[in-house]
Amino acid sequence: MTLSADSFVPRHVAVIMDGNGRWAEQRGLSRTAGHKKGAEALKKLLPYMRDKGVSYVTLYAFSTENWKRPPEEVRTLMDLFRSYLDGDITELKKQGVRVSFIGQRDRFPADLAAKMTTLENETKNLSGFHVVLALSYGGRDDLVQAVRRLAARVLGGEINIDDLDTAAIAGALSTAGIPDPDLIIRTSGEQRISNFLLWESAYSEYYFPKVFWPDFTPAEFDKALAEYALRHRRYGGL
Q: Which residues bind ligand FPP (CB under 6 A)?
A: 17-22, 35, 38-39, 42, 61, 66, 80-81, 84, 133, 213
Alpha carbon 39 to chain centroid, angstroms: 14
Of residues 92 and 146, the one with the C-beta less far from ligand FPP: 92
Active site residue 66: yes
Q: Which of 6, 18, 142, 182 is catalytic?
A: 18
Q: Which is nearer to ligand FPP, 65 or 163 (CB)?
A: 65
Q: Quick one: which H or E segment has residue 80?
A: helix 71-86
89: burial class by Cβ within 10 Å (0-12, 13-18, 19+)?
buried
Q: Which residue is nearest to ligand FPP (CB)?
A: 21
Least separation in angstroms between residue 28's CB and ligand FPP is 14
Nearer to ligand FPP, 79 or 159 (CB): 79
Residue 104 or 232 with smaller CB distance to ligand FPP: 104
Cα distances (angstroms) measured from residue 201 to each of 39, 105, 182, 185, 205: 25, 22, 8, 12, 8
**Nearest distance, CB of residue 53 and ligand FPP, angstroms:** 22
- Name the minimum Å distance from CB 180 to ligand FPP: 22
**Toward ligand FPP, which CB reaches closer, 28 or 236?**
28
For residue 106, count CB atoms less than 10 angstroms from its CB and return exposed for 0-12, middle for 13-18, buried for 19 or more.
exposed
CB of 21 to ligand FPP, least distance (A): 2
Is residue 160 annotated as part of the catalytic site, yes or no?
no
3-state secondary structure of 59: strand
Interacting residues of 65 by C-beta distance below 8 A, sequence separation 6+: 138, 194, 195
**How far apart (Å, rounded) are the C-alpha atoms in residues 145 and 7?**
37
Query: How far apart are CB 146 and ligand FPP at their closest, in Å?
Result: 24
Contact 172, 146 (CB under 8 A): yes
Select which of 20, 66, 106, 195 is catalytic.
66
Task: State the Cα angle at 177 between 171 and 178, rounded to 5°.
Answer: 120
- Residues acting as catalytic residues: 18, 66
